[in-house]
Structure 1
Amino acid sequence: MTAASHRTGRAAPSRSATLHGRALAALGTAAAALVAAFVVVPGPLAASGPGEGFGREGELAEALRTAFVAYWSSGERAFPPDLDGLVGYWFRYHVTKAVIAALLLIVLVGIGALVRKAFLRADGLGAGKGLALASAGVLATLLALLSLAAVMANVQGAVAPFASLLPMLPTGATGATGATGATDGELGAALAQVRERLAVAPGAGDHAPGALDVMIGDFALYHEAMAVIAATVAVVLVVMSVLSWKRFRGTEPAERRARRTLGSFGALAALSALFVIVVAVANTTTAAAPRPALLAFFEGGW
């Protein structure tokens, strides 16, 4: 009976280690597939909707420059068909990226949890095993933070796709360097008019073009979206940090590995929360006064 129990005691950890290894392998494969999908899938999937697809970012930027000149010249608020197709494409592109990045974040959190459990059980497995697990945990955490940033940025781009397209315009005082779909003169003149209109105080002079109102509104929405997203993420990170420090205080001093893990995670979550709070405040400030910020953008200062 004792011998059987002894055999069972030896077998259980082995089965647990095997299951952990298989789970890590499966999650690692899923993470690699999602990273590849994040790069390859969004463009073709976004092109499956109305409008055309774009094989290169340069093609998208060229089409945007031509469509933007036509939009600005129209004086209308509504997007012309070409620009409407571009905005729709860019919306679908960001939605696809946000979904893939969110799935990758979930997988990386799962990997981090499994690595953490293995690390805490690795006291008797040697310094090399512990160092390898610690390195894997750090890598999974950093990749999870990058995935979180990708989710935030792509949700922001999906909320305000028109504003998200604007950085593809050759802004700045020099005008339209590199434009080919619309002539340099046409695009340069349109951008100069945008800067001129933005420099005029609201309510002064004649009525602003409808396109300018749309740009200002979407630019404000773009930053409002990030302010809300960043504030939400900051709350989650603060809660995670507080819970981690509570567990840290409740862990016996002799459990040094567990305390180091909890303390490190609590500190990282707190620092990340501070950074995200700064992002939220900066975007809130811009959303409250979008016109000067948009002018600075078109002058190449943002």
Structure 2
Amino acid sequence: MSTTTPPTTRPGPPRTSGVPVRAATVLTALTAALITAFVLAPGPVAGSMSGGGYGSRRELDDSLAASFTDYWESGERGFPSGLRDVVDYWSRYHLVKAVTAALLLAVLIALGALLWKAFLRGGALTAGSRAALASAGAAVTALALFSLAMVVANIQGAVAPFSSLMSMLPVHRSHGELAEVLDQIRQRLAAHPGTAGPTPPPLKVMVSDFGRYHAVLAVAATVVAAALVAMSAVSWRRFARTARSDRRTRRVFRSAGLLSALVAAAVAVIAVANTATTADPAPALLAFFEGGW
């Protein structure tokens, strides 16, 4: 008498609360590693790329203040070696942060998609499990938006590092030579362009770089706003196509559509404001040096 052996099935990847545990664990570990790298790696990596770094924020600030003063007093367009070293370091610092933030954003998008899909497909889950998934998905979405902001901000700093560095000058607490230099810059900017004589070359560079600094943000914000509008449109389309009986799915797509539209509107305002500053950067630069920017 023959017996048949039931076919063996290979178990699929483990799941908890509808989430693939292995994938979620890997993505969570990558998120933690990239957050740590975003905070700790830029300084050492930028220092190794630029032939030297700065042991502390105080050392960087002191070097910036001294080299900025030397630059203004030189009356030349090109940066002296001290300021060039600081600017090169700062550009690489922001480049490392931009790349790290972009990788983090990609990981968070994947993790968020995993969590929201599990939430939508979790018909047999308990109310507590669904609430936990929704909370985790919302937290990951918020962190992804923050990472997106960090990508844009650090691209801005990498492309226009001189203006990014100027924001670190102690405009309210300066003394000595730096205070005198800042006063001269304010006077020149108040009379810009050229009503008090030829514009010093360093001031031309500051105004031009400040315009580029805001142009980068204007372009990046425009791209982000367009992408968010597209995401909102897709979410609303899926909301409309989902059966009314599937309240959970409709609620998720409606929330995604509203959030994308609201963030897009805020980013569009930023794009418009920075476009205006790009067209005429001198008043905004003066406002910064007067402490109002």
Tell me which interval the TM-score lies in, with the shorter structure as reference length: over 0.9
Cα distance in 1 for partners of 2:57, 2:123 equals: 50
Aligned counterpart for 1:262 among listed residues 247, 253, 256: 253
Structure with the bigger percentage of helix: 1
Matches within 5 A, 1:266-277: 266-277=257-268
- 2:161 aligns with 161
Asked whether 1:214 is paired with 2:212, we answer: no
- Segments of 5+ residues of structure 2 without an aligned counterpart are 1-5
Q: CA deviation at 1:280?
A: 0.5
Deviations 1:43-90 (A, max 9, x none): 000001234311222211111000001000000000000000000000
Deviations 1:178-223 (A, max 9, x none): xxxxxx2211110000001101131323211110000000000000
Asked whether 1:282 is paired with 2:273, we answer: yes
Q: CA deviation at 1:144?
A: 0.1
Cα distance in 1 for partners of 2:270, 2:196 equals: 35
Cα distance in 2 for partners of 1:293, 1:269 equals: 30
Give TM-score scaled by structure 1 length: 0.91
Cα distance in 2 for partners of 1:30, 1:71 equals: 43
Cα distance in 1 for partners of 2:58, 2:285 equals: 23
- 1:232 aligns with 223
Cα distance in 1 for partners of 2:13, 2:81 equals: 61
Asked whether 1:189 is paired with 2:180, we answer: yes
- 1:17 aligns with 15
- 1:180 aligns with none
Matches within 5 A, 1:1-302: 15=13, 17=15, 20-172=20-172, 176=174, 184-302=175-293
The aligned amino acid for 2:159 is: V
Cα distance in 1 for partners of 2:192, 2:125 equals: 69
CA change 1:206–1:51 in 2 (3 A) is: farther
Cα distance in 2 for partners of 1:15, 1:69 equals: 62
Cα distance in 2 for partners of 1:201, 1:37 equals: 43
2:14–2:22 contact (8 Å) kept in structure 1: no
Cα distance in 2 for partners of 1:135, 1:221 equals: 40
1:51–1:86 contact (8 Å) kept in structure 2: no
Cα distance in 2 for partners of 1:68, 1:15 equals: 58
Give TM-score scaled by structure 2 length: 0.94
Secondary structure of 1:168's match? coil
Deviations 1:131-167 (A, max 9, x none): 0000000000000000000000000011100000001
Cα distance in 2 for partners of 1:205, 1:117 equals: 64
Cα distance in 1 for partners of 2:56, 2:270 equals: 30
Q: CA deviation at 1:124?
A: 1.1
Flag as ranges the 4+ runs of structure 1 deviating above 4 A: none
Q: CA deviation at 1:233?
A: 0.3
Q: CA deviation at 1:16?
A: 6.5
Cα distance in 1 for partners of 2:77, 2:192 equals: 20
Secondary structure of 2:179's match? helix
Cα distance in 2 for partners of 1:227, 1:149 equals: 13
Cα distance in 1 for partners of 2:68, 2:13 equals: 62
Cα distance in 2 for partners of 1:271, 1:61 equals: 38
Cα distance in 2 for partners of 1:30, 1:65 equals: 38
